[in-house]
Amino acid sequence: MKDSLIATNFFFRNQKSFHRGKVRDVYMLGDKYLAVVACDRISAFDHVMPKPIPYKGQILNQIAAKMLDDTASVVPNWKIATPDPNVTIGHRCQPIMIEMVIRGYLAGHAWREYKEGRREVCGVRMPDGMNENDRFEEPIITPTIKAASGHDSDVSMQGILEQKLLRKKDLEQIESYTRKLYKAGTQIADERGLLLVDTKYEFGYNLDGKIILIDEVHTPDSSRYFYKDEYAANQKLGKAQKQLSKEFVRQWLIENDFSGEKDQKIPEMTEEFVDSVTDRYVELYEKVTGTPFIKRSYEDIHTQIENNVNQYLESGAL
């Protein structure tokens, strides 16, 4: 197996607890802060794939860090510092268990529902006569309820209120934040020759009880991008859009008879396919950030991360 950061097991200064997510290892630092290590694990259809993707964690962390900085004036967020290419340190929050998915185009899950004949997703009506990847007149919000395990589930905005998952004023706040973030992300993408097709945002309450943006933002794991200069011609000809996102991994899995359903076997990812995924992530990093991607060394990477984080914590910056 290629060099990669599959998992970590640190004990940082003031560490109180640890949680391993699908692709991130989260370390609770005291009562106020946390350190999130982005590993090279990749998930799809709520399953972690057997093979990691080299440099994926670094790419996700560095894109998210830049985007959190670039949108901080639009919506407050959890980030404090990135002491290591794979690590972000930020404010500890109480997560809101609703993912706010916003879609500017008919793609991904919305398209899969549409082609099955359904014209409503999460309580939002979609017009008849649309083709895959067509642009909506106005972006639509299709929230999901985050599951502790297994698949997240679609929910309407009204359903969130009826199930008392969130107070009305808080739902209105995260809806407003979602639209502002998508507008900002669309503008950033446009400057880089990209279209931000759809994305998801997660929010939480900080220790002061205020709602802020948490987790990643505008990364290839949370977002879908198309190339702006190719979009119109491809749509006119009915050609597939080249995607800078994790969707091509999902499509490869579907083509190999895996969509996360019970008793399905995850297909073997060849070295060539793994390399192609890394290449696609690097391409997106460079397109979105406008800077070359510099691969970190995997030699003694665990020691590197531990030293970088502990040095930051010992500096008294928090």
So what's the pLDDT on residue 249?
87
Please check whether residues 78 and 214 belong to one and the same domain.
Answer: no
**Measured between alpha carbons, how far is 282 from 61 in angstroms, rounded to an integer?**
12
Please check whether residues 109 and 225 belong to one and the same domain.
Answer: yes
Is residue 232 situated within a structural domain? yes
Please check whether residues 222 and 105 belong to one and the same domain.
Answer: yes
* CB atoms near residue 19 (< 10 Å): 11
Please check whether residues 30 and 152 belong to one and the same domain.
Answer: no
Overall average pLDDT of the 272-297 stretch: 93
Is residue 6 situated within a structural domain? no
Please check whether residues 107 and 207 belong to one and the same domain.
Answer: yes
Q: pLDDT tens digit string along 136-178?
A: 999 999 999 987 655 679 999 999 999 999 999 999 999 999 9
Overall average pLDDT of the 13-41 stretch: 95
Please check whether residues 183 and 295 belong to one and the same domain.
Answer: no
Overall average pLDDT of the 201-217 stretch: 96
Please check whether residues 107 and 236 belong to one and the same domain.
Answer: yes
Overall average pLDDT of the 222-236 stretch: 95
**Measured between alpha carbons, how far is 301 from 57 in angstroms, rounded to an integer?**
12
Whether residue 232 has pLDDT greater than 60: yes
Is residue 121 situated within a structural domain? yes
Whether residue 288 has pLDDT greater than 80: yes
Rounded mean pLDDT of the chain? Answer: 94
**Measured between alpha carbons, how far is 222 from 188 in angstroms, rounded to an integer?**
16
So what's the pLDDT on residue 129?
96
Please check whether residues 74 and 145 belong to one and the same domain.
Answer: no
Q: DSSP for 62-104, please give it.
A: HHHHHHHHHHTTTS-BSEEEEEETTEEEEE--EEEEEEEEEEE
Whether residue 114 has pLDDT greater than 90: yes
Please check whether residues 89 and 155 belong to one and the same domain.
Answer: no
Please check whether residues 213 and 274 belong to one and the same domain.
Answer: no
Say how many domains are in the chain.
Answer: 2
Q: Kindly report the CATH number assigned to the domain that includes residue 47.
A: 3.30.200.20
Q: Which domain holds residue 309?
A: 15-93+269-314
Asked if 18 and 40 touch (Cβ cutoff 8 Å), the reply is: no
Is residue 182 situated within a structural domain? yes
Q: Kindly report the CATH number assigned to the domain that includes residue 118.
A: 3.30.470.20
Please check whether residues 104 and 239 belong to one and the same domain.
Answer: yes
Listed residues 245, 278, 300: the one ending a domain: 245
289 — pLDDT class (breaks 50, 70, 90): very high
Is residue 259 situated within a structural domain? no
pLDDT above 70 coverage of the chain, percent: 98
25 — pLDDT class (breaks 50, 70, 90): very high
Please check whether residues 80 and 101 belong to one and the same domain.
Answer: no
Is residue 264 situated within a structural domain? no
Closest CA to 130 of 108, 115, 142, 109: 115
So what's the pLDDT on residue 318?
83
20 — pLDDT class (breaks 50, 70, 90): very high
So what's the pLDDT on residue 212?
98
Is residue 23 situated within a structural domain? yes
Sorted by sequence, the CB contacts under 8 Å of residue 225 that are 6+ apart come out as 189, 194, 195, 196, 197, 243, 244, 245, 284, 287, 288
Is residue 258 situated within a structural domain? no
263 — pLDDT class (breaks 50, 70, 90): confident
Which phi and psi angles does 223 have, rounded to 5°?
-140, 165
So what's the pLDDT on residue 46?
81
**Measured between alpha carbons, how far is 171 from 81 in angstroms, rounded to an integer?**
28
